[in-house]
Amino acid sequence: MAYKKTEQYDEQTTSSLTETYKRALGLLGEDPSREGLEKTPERMAKAMQFLTQGYTLDAEAILNSAKFHEPISEMIIVKDIEVYSMCEHHMLPFFGKAHVAYIPNGWITGLSKIARIVDVYARRLQVQERLTTEILDAIKNALQPLGVAVVIEASHLCMMMRGVQKQNSVTTTSAFWGEFERNETRSEFIRLIGSTLH
């Protein structure tokens, strides 16, 4: 086997979290020692470390790792990037799509890097509004482009499963900077991503 992907978890963190989740399962009225739940606290410990791995990643460093000089100043759009994050109020998932655009000013980055930095910020405890502006700021700082636009459309399980139980509501957040603050450029971007956003 030439390719092997390995996952690494911090041992100390994993064992402390495992103990904590075992206790939590008991407090919720479950029997953490029954067969089906035997490995659950450890799985939760690993899943949560995976879902919050963004804290150890540096979005600007990722963008800079594939930064190329290119004399173009046309709008570059990466749309329909899958987003999976967790709300910081309930630690329940919210998920949807991000559409990201920028207008280069001499520098471009790899298209896959744009998708990766969405994950860098999504894999933390978040609010959708902050996620949107953090993605924008990273691109703005690393590439110093003429403009950046980020739109995120997401469904929040904390609204769907509990609280107001609105199953079909989608929250849209957006952030625009530079050229995208001009109506004309922003409209062009909105048209190209096919969003219902106005």
The footprint of Zn ion on this chain (CB under 5 A) covers a number of residues equal to 4
115 dihedral zone (left: phi>0; alpha: psi -120 to 50; beta):
alpha
Residues assigned a catalytic role? 87-90, 128, 156, 158
Stretch that binds Zn ion, among 61-69, 125-133, 158-166, 169-177 (CB under 5 A): 158-166
Q: What kind and span of H or E run contains 134? A: helix 128-143
Q: Which residues pair with 150 in a beta bridge?
A: 100, 175
Q: What is the rounded CA–CA span in Å between residue 139 and residue 150?
A: 10
CB of 131 to Zn ion, least distance (A): 13
Q: Are the CB atoms for 110 and 154 separated by under 8 Å?
A: no
Does residue number 67 form part of the binding site for Zn ion (CB under 5 A)? no
Contact pick of 51, 127, 158, 160 for Zn ion (by CB under 5 A):
158
Stretch that binds Zn ion, among 37-45, 49-57, 86-94, 134-142 (CB under 5 A): 86-94
CB of 123 to Zn ion, least distance (A): 16
